[in-house]
Structure 1
Amino acid sequence: MIFGVILAGGIGSRMGNVEKPKQFLTVGEKPIIIHTIEKFYVNDSFEKLIVLCPAQWVSHTKNLVKKYLKDEDRIVVIEGGSTRNETIMNSIRYIEENYTLDDDTIIVTHDSVRPFVTYRIIEDNIRYALEYGACDTVIPATDTIVESDDSNIIASVPDRSKMYQGQTPQSFKAKKLKDMYNALTEEEKEILTDAAKIFVIKGEPVYLVEGEVFNIKITYPYDLRVAETLIEGDK
């Protein structure tokens, strides 16, 4: 079975002084999180869409789903964890408790504040996860990347042709992801930035899915203005 996992656990601190997490801000007359869920909802491959958010926002998110999507059967809203990866583990726990978690169970994990993901990107993630076990959506780096050890002086300038910018979705065979995460040391867990790094730490291949430049993550106030423009352009 294949599950969509929408990660809405962030509080949006980089958005500035706003009254709610950024995923609940309105863009194009709808909350950002609803735009994102809709992109997954139209894909019939998903057995269930699991939306994970902070405990105090679960009820609000359920109300949004009821208002805009009117489907409380195919979409479930549950509490996320203290970190991104713990949130993903909560989704796997839900699958284990309510369905069968086996070697072929796939999760397609996606940031709730990336509402411009395409049907093609989602389909490619499903296909690559089924075939290879793990994949990450990326775009080639267009700017020169510099590395600094102390935030003051350049330590190295990597070959840009080998550099990519990570996006989401990131998709995995859920049981394998869970088993590898549980096998990590506490020190390894502390250096995690996302779920794909779990596979990398354990020496497992993560295949690249071609993303899109417009598959932006809404993080800063400027991104809201860009998002409004993109949505207007889709009308």
Structure 2
Amino acid sequence: MTTNTRTVAVILAGGIGVRVGLGIPKQLIKIAGKAIVEHTLEVLEASSHIDEILIVMNAGSLRELDELKDPQRFPKLTRIIPGGDTRNDSTQAALAVLGDDPRTKVLFHDAVRPFVDDRILRDCVDALDDYEAVDTAIPSADTIIQVDSASHITRIPDRSQLRRGQTPQAFRLGTIRHAYELANQDRSFHATDDCGVVFTYLPDVPIYVVDGTPENMKVTEPIDVHIADKLFQLQSESLSASPESPDLTGKTIVVFGGSYGIGASIVELARAAGADVHEFSRSSTGTDVRFRGRVKKALKSVYEKTGKIDAVIMSAGVLRVGPLATTKVRDIETSIETNFLAPVIVSRAAHRYLRETHGQVLLFTSSSYTRGRANYGVYSASKAAVVNLTQALAEEWADDEVRINCINPQRTKTPMREAAFGDEPAGTLLDADIVASVSLRVLASAITGQIVTVRVEQPEPEG
């Protein structure tokens, strides 16, 4: 077994994103508040199996990555270089700057595969102790057919022996360099990936395959952007399962709507976690979140007293049930103003303070945001708007390092819900303290632009 060899991860970000159709290189599309390439870089930076990182970027968009050149945040990132016209050209651009040690382990990974996990990285690096070339792949769930120019099936391979290729593809530096040297002597050379170069020009070199994961998807088509966004949301749900309570000692937190329900639970738990909590509501302080002046006054008073604000939570809301056609216009306006306009007002007013602390806004939506519910459609629509607001502001505020997230609690036992729906079966509602506990873990995390779902735990069936 070879030891003490350097391991370099090369992020291939040379694509221009024609298929994704959003007018910018796909690796720069923002999901969950960050460009896809940034998410990918964070995974590789966090891996103990990677010593150094190199990005090969579309030459026309090279300057878009200048903000990633941060030694404090990404100490493993040593350089960002322009790529070529093809993937193979970009690979060779990286090979040209990777030094002379042929034993160096090199992992080539697509910038638009942000869900690669540390197990895959470890398996690729470990496999290079015994092999010179390694691929990542998953079994094919679909039958693969081969067709001719007339679109007639000519062959149906055995699916059990087929795999769908992913990245990373990993190599000994000397091996992949030699393969490209031979390929460049072939005028008919064409390959869509780096393992294909080794397979074609070094046929005696076995290529080992490690198991990928379905989540390690490549963002290529427009629908992939939506799937990736949902995967980030599912990742953030792990916060719901964590039993750990964060330490909020020294944090200054402002809670609007903290006099009852989830807001009151947040105030209590945050104080128990060491935070300096300032609560505002109509009933306790006369603060109506629908009015910009009152919100600004509340935030200013906290800032003047403490000198900083680390987080602002907006948990106030109203829920009125009834047919839209017979609901009073003023009740409709109040619902929209409280459930959507107020989060806008609070977020806007909080930004100036959170920019100083690189803090976070935490908003609340409802499980009804995914589908409008009869008899409270205005409420559902407003909560859907809060989700869109969260995702949009995560992008707007990324440069200021201000985070914004949204809690999506399933039905929760609160005075507001009880007033709207009356008594409901025991065990079907979340306890407000559970939602509050997840909310505090989100505050203590580094995520942004996430819709964090909190669900009722269903009991395991007996027998």
Determine if the TM-score, normalized by the shorter chain, exceeds 0.5.
Answer: yes
Q: Distance in 1 between matches of 2:89 and 2:56?
A: 11
Match of 1:91 in 2: 94
Change (3 A) 1:89 1:216: same
Please tell me whether the aligned partners of residues 69 and 77 of structure 2 are also in contact (alpha carbons under 8 angstroms).
Answer: no
Choose 224-233 or 77-86, whichever is displaced more. Answer: 77-86
| Matched length | 228
1:83 Cα shift?
Answer: 1.5
The normalised TM-score by structure 2 is 0.47
**Structure 1 residues 196-223: Cα deviation after superposition (integer angstroms, max 9, x where no partner):** 0112112121101100011110011111
Match of 1:125 in 2: 124
Match of 2:55 in 1: 51
**Structure 1 residues 59-104: Cα deviation after superposition (integer angstroms, max 9, x where no partner):** 11122x14797336634211112221221111121112xxxx2231
1:20 to 24, 42, 47: 24
SS at match of 1:124: helix
Cα-Cα RMSD: 1.7
**Structure 1 residues 94-149: Cα deviation after superposition (integer angstroms, max 9, x where no partner):** 112xxxx2231111110000000000001101111232011100001111100012
Q: Distance in 2 between matches of 1:115 and 1:151?
A: 37
1:32 Cα shift?
Answer: 0.5
Q: Tell me which structure has the larger Cα radius of gyration.
A: 2
Q: How does 1:72-221 map to 2 (within 5 A)?
A: 74-96=77-99, 101-150=100-149, 152-184=151-183, 185-190=185-190, 192-201=191-200, 202-203=202-203, 204-221=205-222
1:46 Cα shift?
Answer: 2.5
Q: Distance in 1 between matches of 2:153 and 2:46?
A: 46
Q: Distance in 1 between matches of 2:102 and 2:43?
A: 26
Q: Distance in 1 between matches of 2:110 and 2:129?
A: 20
Matched to 1:71, the amino acid is: F
Q: Distance in 2 between matches of 1:58 and 1:73?
A: 18
**Structure 1 residues 167-220: Cα deviation after superposition (integer angstroms, max 9, x where no partner):** 100000112111121112334522x11110112112121101100011110011
- RCO higher in 1 or 2 (8 Å CA, sep ≥ 6)? 1
Q: Distance in 2 between matches of 1:129 and 1:167?
A: 17
Q: Distance in 2 between matches of 1:68 and 1:154?
A: 54
Structure 1 residue runs of 4 or more that deviate by more than 6 Å after TM superposition: none
Please tell me whether the aligned partners of residues 139 and 211 of structure 1 are also in contact (alpha carbons under 8 angstroms).
Answer: yes
SS at match of 2:189: helix
Change (3 A) 1:195 1:106: same
Match of 1:7 in 2: 12
Q: Distance in 1 between matches of 2:231 and 2:8?
A: 27
Tell me the percent identity: 32
Runs of 5+ unmatched residues, structure 1: none
Match of 1:233 in 2: 234
The normalised TM-score by structure 1 is 0.91
